[in-house]
Amino acid sequence: MPEGKEKKDRGWTEVHSEECKGCGLCIEACPVCGMHLSDKLNGRGYHFGEYQGHGCTGCGVCFYACPEPGAITVFKN
């Protein structure tokens, strides 16, 4: 691998913030600590889950842990 090039993550995650109720289950479930709660509030007054931007493996555990249908989408590279 060329110097200065980081290994590409195997996946990434998007949280649809208005669907999130801020329960934190995705944060507890992620095996690589890839999620956190935002400092910001969504329109319903919840601190929403956010992908931290690196390290995702695309495993989908956060998706299955989330009780809100449609709050999380996981992508695989």
DSSP state of 10: S
Indicate which single residue of 18, 32, 40, 77 sits in contact with ligand SF4 (rule: CB under 6 A).
32
Considering the complex, state which of residue 3 and residue 49 has its C-beta at the smaller distance from ligand SF4.
49
Q: Is 35 among the residues that bind ligand SF4 (CB under 6 A)?
A: yes
Distance CA 7, CA 70 (A): 29
Distance CA 3, CA 34 (A): 25
Q: How far is the CB of 39 from ligand SF4 (least distance, A)?
A: 14
Q: How many residues bind ligand SF4 (CB under 6 A)?
A: 31
